[in-house]
Amino acid sequence: MGKIKAFLHKESIKKSFMLYTFACILAAFLLSLLLSWLCQMCQSKICENRIINYQSDGDRTLDETDGSMLLYPDVDALNEIELRYYTARLSFLLSPFEETVYNILSFLSVALVPVCFMVCCWITSVLFYRKQLQKPLEILDNAAENIAENNLDFKISCDRQNEMGRLCSSFEKMRAALQDNNMEMWHQIEERRRLNTAFAHDLRTPLTVLKGQSEMLLRYAPRMPLEKISSTAQMMQRHITRLEAYVNTMNDLQRLEDIQIDKKAVPAADAIEQMRSTATSLCQGKKLVFTPCPAGREDLRLDFPMVMRVFENLLSNASRFAAETITIRVENRDDYLKLTVSDDGQGFSGKDLSNATRPFYKADSETDPGHFGMGLNICKILCEKHGGYLELKNDGGASVLAVFRQ
């Protein structure tokens, strides 16, 4: 009983089709029964009228042997005559026209049955299509045309709760996924364009210097003192080294985009100890406050070399900007490993919070020419590839949270 109630309350094309089919069969049966009954009534009416006319011509009685009909007049009331008759051959009694009509009615009483079923099936099919399929199919057709034209700025909505409604919902999920992918691709293209612009801008200075120095050497080298030639060569060597570093950085960035995550089980105690040792080595000359994670997983399932690369980049930035103290907090909970590296320096400016994770971004206070502004961008890429994220904020100084999904 419960299954029957659930079936009746659940909206589905299967249930609707069954109901429409039942209604079609019932309507066809009743309609064919009605039309057959009408044909038979018309046949009876033809016979009765003919018999009454035949009897009114003279009170004659036909014998079964010589004719077709035996009449039994029986008068029970003044104005009412009951006729009971037996028909053996209608042609004896009916005119040719009446006999033709009678035969046509006999044919129709049988032939109208399949006709009724065909008509009811056609009407039911049209109603079923218009009520159940037409609107969802139009929605899906319009959505397919928009997607084919690469127009994803629309919504697919269908108020039906049946299979067609769920199909429309699936199309909407596909449209949203395509739109998100297109937006992500557009952001990547924009980021690559901005990266190329920044790279070209930063290359322009050392290339200009090298060009000027090389021209000067070609023109004045024979008359220049050795000390000047030596200093010029050293300057050119510094800029060449800087260009090499730029090229290596760009290669590293390209490799980061293609890197694959390789998660392996690492004992939590060993991972914490390695982080503590690395922090002690990189933060020499600064006060280090290391807070290990509370009780969590005994084994961390991570791409640990990638985690350590992020950790080292964050420590390098913190040691450059910290006044005296660097604080490190490690949390191991809820399937995530969270690393927080803070310093007591000036912190991030509003511009830094918005742009520090972009490639080749340098803070206004940055004075180190060997720093290319790629550290936080690399950290962001690696965290996202590991299913996490990078978050920048000010907490008495600069504070960076790196999250990795285990």
Q: In the listed set 238, 257, 276, which residue is the last one of a domain according to the structure?
A: 257
Nearest CA to 395 among 335, 347, 361? 347
Kindly state the average pLDDT of the residues 378-382.
Answer: 86
Give the pLDDT band of residue 246 (cuts 50, 70, 90).
confident
d(CA 69, CA 88): 7
d(CA 27, CA 314): 78
SS3 70: strand
Q: In the listed set 257, 285, 307, which residue is the last one of a domain according to the structure?
A: 257
Q: Do both 399 and 276 map to the same domain?
A: yes
Give the pLDDT band of residue 68 (cuts 50, 70, 90).
very low
Q: The domain that contains 188 carries what CATH number? A: 1.10.287.130
Q: Do both 84 and 38 map to the same domain?
A: yes
DSSP 364: T
In a domain, 393, yes or no: yes
In a domain, 156, yes or no: no
Q: Do both 118 and 202 map to the same domain?
A: no
Share of the chain residues as helix, strand and coil, in percent rounded to the nearest 5: 60, 15, 25
- Predicted local distance difference test score (pLDDT) of residue 22: 92
Domains in the chain, number: 3
Q: What percent of the chain has pLDDT over 70?
A: 80
For residue 61, pLDDT beyond 70: no
Q: The domain that contains 384 carries what CATH number? A: 3.30.565.10
In a domain, 159, yes or no: no
Q: In the listed set 257, 285, 312, which residue is the last one of a domain according to the structure?
A: 257
Task: Answer yes or no: pTM beyond 0.75.
Answer: no
d(CA 147, CA 178): 9
Q: Do both 242 and 301 map to the same domain?
A: no
Q: Do both 235 and 350 map to the same domain?
A: no
- Predicted local distance difference test score (pLDDT) of residue 5: 44
- For 75-129, write each residue's pLDDT tens digit: 343 333 333 343 444 555 667 787 788 888 888 888 888 898 999 999 999 999 8
Give the pLDDT band of residue 316 (cuts 50, 70, 90).
confident
For residue 26, pLDDT beyond 90: yes
In a domain, 34, yes or no: yes
Q: What is the domain range of residue 76?
A: 2-148
